Amino acid sequence: MKYVLGAKCVKCGKEYAAVPHLTTCSCGGILDIVYDYGAIRRDFSPKTLAGNRDWSMWRYRPFLPVEEGSPAPPLRVGWSPLYKADRLAHALGLRTLYIKDDGLNPTASLKDRASSLAVVKAMEAGASTIACSSTGNAASSLAGNAAAAGLESYIFVPSRAPKGKVAQLQIFGAHVISVDGSYEDTFELSKASIFRWGWYNRNAAINPYLSEGKKTVTLEILEQLGWQVPDYIALSVGDGCTIAGAWKGLKDLYAAGFIDRLPRLISVQAEGCCPLNRALQTGKPWTPMEENTLADSIAVGVPRNPDKALRALEESGGMAINVSDREILDAMTLLGRTQGVFGEPAGVTGTAGVKRALEQGRIPADATVVSIVTGNGLKDVQSGIKAAGEPMVVRPDMEALLAAFAAHGIDPKERMI
């Protein structure tokens, strides 16, 4: 790995060689991958990148901790669209808003970025089997990416995981263990099992390579913005690994001279489960919370990556915004109706947070904001119906249709523009 110097504990600073089977520090702290930015800067620039025709996350190889000879995994992960969302911006009273639709990844969430990287590292480690616990998306992304690469997978999900995600796991042929308990219970059982059988570990808070995959989302955003740095990047937060990864990507770009300043992060959590935001808001160490939100992907009462997440927020001068489940459902329809993007509840939570932050005057109306939609709404159709309601049912004749329009207050007249 030409540009990787090693790994370093974010808690005690202890250094490690970047072997494929890297986990946590002996002190319990999470490791961070350290790069030789001088070397990256020497070999690599926005200009060299512009000539790269690999339109996937693997276009950022110099920033990724994989061996040069390792092939990219089969599924095409990354280079999801960044939409300039003028209609949504207008609805929110914001000047400039971009929506990064990461629900268009192969298994329909941002987590594909981490799983794609995990598959490479598992292969570098010579493993035949890879495992994780997950609220759902890491699971389905691991199952899909592993299947395409010919690896076996063991996946631990809490039994509350939405049907769409479980169906993906089953279709991808994973060994799925639906744990009748909380996410915390699920995580602990996966940890014990991984230790017992020696599977490659794809738990993002244990394996430091995974947030390196996730960081490609901000590498892409900045390249798609032509290296113009937005004022804010908003995203939903559960375990903390995604926001930590997003921040790592930004710091990498800054250190390698691709950008000249850093945006501020907006961490959005559900009111019913916001241990990390509460820590930031109160200035006290985080403590566990119950998992009371329909945004299942961020219903994490015991976040597994608090140190990196809180450090990212602190370093970026970031802010913590909590939103209600009602605001999350409203953001689903708002994104759908103005921008044609269908996000799952946790996927749109970042956007709900932008709305709340604007209402509270915590971000100015003339700011440039990027909101990352982290997962596709098709994964959780029940919440979609809950947000937007059921359609009118009509007998197949015109009279019935006219009556239904009248009952719903719909005027079907065409108004030529």
Subset of residues 26 to 65 that bind its own copies, contact rule: CB under 8 A: 55
Residues 125-164 that bind its own copies (CB under 8 A): 126-129, 143-150, 154, 157, 159, 163-164
Examine residue 393 and tell whether it contacts its own copies (CB under 8 A): yes
Examine residue 366 and tell whether it contacts its own copies (CB under 8 A): no
**Minimum CB–partner distance for residue 182 and its own copies (Å):** 8
Nearer to its own copies, 172 or 286 (CB): 172
Examine residue 169 and tell whether it contacts its own copies (CB under 8 A): yes
- Torsion angle in degrees (nearest 10) through CA of 158, 164, 167, 172: -100
Examine residue 284 and tell whether it contacts its own copies (CB under 8 A): no
104 DSSP assignment: G
**Minimum CB–partner distance for residue 101 and its own copies (Å):** 7
41 token code pair: 């800067």
Please, which contacts does 224-229 make with residues 24 or more away whose CB atoms are closer than 8 Å?
A: 224/82, 225/82, 225/98, 225/370, 227/46, 227/258, 227/259, 229/259, 229/260, 229/261, 229/262, 229/263
Q: Give the one residue of 108, 132, 233, 279 binding its own copies; rule: CB under 8 A.
A: 108
Binding mask 315-354 for its own copies (x = CB under 8 A): -----------------xx--xxxxxxx------------
Nearer to its own copies, 254 or 405 (CB): 405
Examine residue 416 and tell whether it contacts its own copies (CB under 8 A): yes
Examine residue 381 and tell whether it contacts its own copies (CB under 8 A): yes
Q: Give the one residue of 1, 5, 41, 83 binding its own copies; rule: CB under 8 A.
A: 83
Q: Enumerate residues 6+ apart whose C-beta is below 8 A from 267.
A: 235, 237, 243, 276, 277, 280, 309, 313, 318, 319, 320, 321, 353
Q: Give the one residue of 175, 281, 292, 365 binding its own copies; rule: CB under 8 A.
A: 175
Burial (0-12, 13-18, 19+ Cβ within 10 Å), 89: buried
Q: Enumerate residues 6+ apart whose C-beta is below 8 A from 192.
A: none
